[in-house]
Amino acid sequence: MIRDMEKRCYWLWFILILFLAFFLRFYKLGQIPTSLYWDETAILVDAKTISQTGHDMHGGSWFQVLFPSYGDYKLPVYIWLAVLSVKFLGVVELAVRLPSALAGLATIILAGLIAKELFPQFSQKKKVFLQLLTMLVVTVSPWSIMFSRAAFEGHLGQLILALSIWVILKARIKPWLILLSPVLGALSTYTYFSIRFVWPVVFIAAVLLVLKKKALKWLPLVLIIFGVLLIPMIKSPLYTASNQFRYSATSVLNANDYPVESNQYRQLAGMSLIDRVLFHRYWLMARELLKNYADNLSLNYLFLIGDPNLRHGTGEHGLFLLIFLPMLLLGLFELFKKHRPELLFLITWWLIALLPASVPETTPHSLRSLNALVPISLILSFGLMSLINKKSKVINFLTILLIGASVFEFGYHYFTQYGADSAYDWQDGYKQMALEINQALPHVADVYIDEFDDRFYLWLLAYGDWTAWEIQAMPKVNYQVKEIGKITFHEFHWYKIETLDRKIVVVGLKDSINQGLSKYHIKPVWEKEISQANGTTPFKVVMIDRLE
SS (H, E, C) 88-104: HHCCCHHHHHHHHHHHH
Give tens-digit pLDDT for 388-415.
998 888 999 999 999 999 999 999 999 9
pTM above 0.75, yes or no: yes
Strand order of the sheet with strand 504-509?
Answer: 483-484, 487-489, 446-449, 504-509, 539-544, 526-530
How far is residue 281's CA from residue 261's CA, in Å, rounded to a whole number? 8
Give tens-digit pLDDT for 89-138.
999 999 999 999 999 999 999 999 999 999 999 999 999 999 999 999 99
Cβ(361)–Cβ(247) below 8 Å: no
| Residue length of the chain | 548
539-544 and 504-509 beta bridge pairing: antiparallel
pLDDT at 229: 98
Is pLDDT of 2 > 60?
Answer: no
Nearest in space to 319 (alpha carbons), one of 159, 106, 144, 150: 144
How far is residue 483's CA from residue 454's CA, in Å, rounded to a whole number? 11
Backbone phi, psi, residue 367, to 5°: -75, -50
- Of these ranges, 142-146, 170-174, 242-246, 481-485, the one predicted with the greatest mean pLDDT is 142-146
pLDDT at 214: 73
pLDDT-based confidence at 211, cuts 50/70/90? confident
Give tens-digit pLDDT for 512-521.
999 999 998 8
Q: Residues 182, 65, 69, CA angle at the centre, nearest 5°? A: 135
Is pLDDT of 262 > 70?
Answer: no
Please name the residue ranges forming H helices in 236-324: 239-247, 258-269, 273-278, 281-297, 299-303
Give tens-digit pLDDT for 324-355.
999 999 999 999 999 999 999 999 999 999 99
Is pLDDT of 187 > 80?
Answer: yes
pLDDT-based confidence at 1, cuts 50/70/90? very low
Euclidean distance between the first and the last CA atom of the chain, given in angstroms as a whole number:
86
Q: pLDDT exceeding 90 applies to what percent of the chain?
A: 80
How far is residue 361's CA from residue 291's CA, in Å, rounded to a whole number? 10
